[in-house]
Amino acid sequence: TSVEVATSSDVDYRKTFGVGFIGVVEVNSPIGNLDSHSSGGFGFYIKYRPVRYFSIEFTNDYLFGTLKYTDNYMLGYTKVPIALGARIHFLDYGNVDTYAALAASLSVISYYDDYNYRQNTYISGNEYQYGVQFGIGFGYIAGIFEIGFDIRYTIESVPDYIPYYISDDTKVIHGGLFTLSIGLAL
């Protein structure tokens, strides 16, 4: 009798397509009379890696946050960013993935009064924000499952309208985006 033992060269690590869910935390720099604004939420991602060291990605998040003003007034908002980008992978196909990412984003923002939960009064319809993201990430693939962590530096435009905002002529908002993902690698 002979026994065959599988080696690592027998395992196909070439996973070119991925889809899954992400948990997101976003923090932003102070501007004008806004001390800070941060948000958290969830989303989904789709990625496609047609060649070894390059892939494209699409993400859609749903963020819920609070604007905090210098006079301690707080105002809630909902932000829905959509991003399309590219990843440069440092390692060949395998169960460990490290990459650098660059993406462009478009966000739709709705503001509401945090103190009036019953009426959920919207102050403005939708405002838009454009931006770019630069970052690095790490992923681990086990079978068809993938878990990953991503950290990005963001630069976004100041929306045309922010309730109660007193401008200081700042044109961009700097921030950070932290994501934890779990999904399928196919």
**Tens digit of each residue's pLDDT (9 = 90 or more) over 14-57:** 788 999 999 999 999 999 999 878 899 999 999 999 998 999 99
**Tens digit of each residue's pLDDT (9 = 90 or more) over 133-181:** 999 999 999 989 999 999 999 999 999 888 888 888 888 999 999 999 9
Question: Cβ–Cβ contacts within 10 Å for residue 31, how many?
Answer: 21
Please compute Rg for the chain using Cα positions: 20
Q: What is the pLDDT of residue 94?
A: 86
Rounded to whole angstroms, the Cα distance separating 138 from 163 reads: 38
Q: Which one of 3-12, 37-46, 70-79, 167-176 scores highest in mean pLDDT?
A: 37-46
Q: Nearest to residue 49, comparing CAs of 22, 11, 87?
A: 87
The mean pLDDT of 9-14, rounded to a whole number, is: 56
Q: What is the pLDDT of residue 114?
A: 47
The pTM for the full model equals 0.84
